[in-house]
Chain A
Amino acid sequence: MIKVDRLTRTYGGFTAVDDVSFTCQPGRVTGFLGPNGAGKTTTMRIMVGLTPATRGSVTIGGLAYHDIPNPGRHVGVLLDAGAQHAGRTGREILTLGAKTMGLPLSRVDEMLALVSLTDAEAKRRMRNYSLGMKQRLGIAHALLGDPSVLILDEPANGLDPAGIRWMRDLLKGYANRGGTVLLSSHLLNEVELVADEMILIGRGTIVAQGDKASLLAQSGPAASLVTSLDNDALARALQGQGYAVTPAGSGLRVDAEPVQVGRAALEAGVVLTDLRSGARGLEDLFLELTAGTQREGHPAAATQLQEGAQA
């Protein structure tokens, strides 16, 4: 439904988004994951026409955003929950949206109820909203026009744990009804639980994409953690079959699938007390893939950003 095709955006000498391509399918939640400043927001801003692309294109349902008539009815957008007039009430903000889209004002009440903002809260001015309330209002605004595509930038930011679960259920239900959801986050845990598909971006380029299983499959060689009643005998048996074995805590770390370790133990007649996969999780993969783009201990990344800002 959303098709990003070789998208590039440069600011002077700084490339914020570099030749990015991916697709978001209807009926699925696509997680857009990357560290701060990786280019997630820039990509999403280009999607809705707020930032022009230097090269490449984005289409939503086959159309450029600019060519979608009354786009709020088709694409729900939340790029920055704080980007609302501080002096308007929550209800007024939704009313302006509903009026622009040509919706009955009853839709405002429906959306306020959906995101659990009370009548009293809806009458408060935006400047008195907490970050979590702003996010709820932003979600309500994005859903106003009953769109079939949702583009949400860091929607869980500022929500409490209950709010994050609520958001997760909301987006899952939305995708199950056939909607297309693209949500960005810099927190893996947030995305991992809700996304059917994940796109990992670092320093403007996509470093990996796919569903959770296929991402884990490419997360490196198989490894197992095993503990037995006779570690020495098991180690000899495994080494005899050509697997590398290193001691790890009270057990062994083996560069092999758990099934291969189990079989070797059976053949050697060693009793296992613990056997599990030692493969790295998504978090390791995420950190490794984006390692060159993390700010911590990488002054080069920081200076590149500064140059970009000056240019």
Chain B
Amino acid sequence: MSTTTPSTPSTPSTPSMTLDVSGTPKVPFTRLVGVELRKIYDTRAGRWLLGAIVLITAAIMTIFFFAADAPDRTFGNFIGVSATPQGFLLPVLGILLVTSEWTQRTAMVTFALEPSRTRVIAAKTVAALIFGVAAFLAAIVVAGLCTLVGGADGGFEGLEARIFLLFLALQLLTILQGLAYGLILLNTPAAIVTFFVLPIASSIVFNLVSGLRDLAPWLDLGTAQGPLFESFGASALTGEEYAQLGTTTLIWIVIPFVLGWIRVMRAEVK
């Protein structure tokens, strides 16, 4: 856009009308993830939530440690009890990571610094999953310690890596589910309520309406995930049960996530 005409008083001679961006690389994705990780714990709400996850996980394992009969104090059971608080609270972390950008209107700043909304959503997703993995690893360490200190004889026996991975995948999918509802609703209370109430309402409907009961494992998330919790440390899942996990994951997690993604791509950032 550099001009060859001589400068006039109203347009003083200017070195350049173009931006020289040759020396500026794009913001690396790892840096975006780093910033999103920081956003999780740099507010009081985020720190309280993280503290609650750690404390409740530790508390519930301690309670189980003293309350359970000695033979039940296996590594698998310790992990199992940690799943409930983490499964409830980690998705809230994901929801907050998305919705606070809109309720606090920081999306205006975030998208001004990284105009690719896809990269921002991806960075948020990776950041939330990193916290999920960290929470799972922490649960394994604590459960390992509990089993070593006061576990049943042979508390580590009969463990299958495949089950653990499936279990981790389930935790991460639950986080994705939280992110998905956050992306669709872009409103913290609405997303949290939807995340907790909708699956319960679905389970009630599928269990009460007799005509739907047969379809429940294929359509209701809670019903499909049931065998995973029951089979923990015991028998593996059947092929049909895997397929049911697949269809319910698609309906309850993948499709909402895609819809939420599309909404954010199109939304006008206010």
Interface residues of A (CB under 8 A from B): 1, 3, 25-28, 45, 48-52, 60-63, 65-66, 68-74, 77, 79-80, 82-88, 92, 96-97, 99-102, 141, 148-149, 178, 210-211, 214
Contacts and interface: CB of A to CB of B under 8 A. Distances in A.
A228 B112 CA distance: 61
B42 A96 contact: yes
Interface string B107-118: 011011111100
A189 to B, nearest CB: 23
A62 B108 contact: no
Interface string B11-51: 11011111101001111100110110011001111000000
B115 A87 contact: no
A50 B44 CA distance: 28
Contacts of B106: 83-85
B269 interface: yes
Given A69-B25, A84-B104, A99-B34, A62 B113 contact: no
Contact of B105 (A1, A45, A83, A88): A83
B113 A72 contact: yes
Given A70-B27, A100-B35, A60 B19 contact: yes
A60 B21 CA distance: 11
Contacts of B269: 45, 50-51
A99 B35 contact: yes
B193 interface: no
Q: Classify the interface of chain A: helix, strand, loop or mixed.
A: loop
Interface residues of B, number: 40
Q: In the A-B complex, list the 7 residue pairs whose CB atoms are closest, starting with the nearest.
A: A61-B19, A83-B105, A87-B43, A50-B269, A85-B104, A62-B18, A83-B108
Contact of B109 (A3, A73, A99, A141): A141
Contact of B27 (A27, A82, A87, A102): A102
B21 A80 contact: no
Contacts of B39: 96
A68 B112 CA distance: 11
A16 B243 CA distance: 51
Contact of A178 (B15, B18, B27, B34): B15
A222 B71 CA distance: 101
B21 A69 contact: yes
Contacts of B268: 45, 50-52
B35 A1 contact: no
Nearest to B45: A87
A73 B26 CA distance: 10
Contact of B38 (A1, A87, A96, A148): A96
Nearest to B44: A87
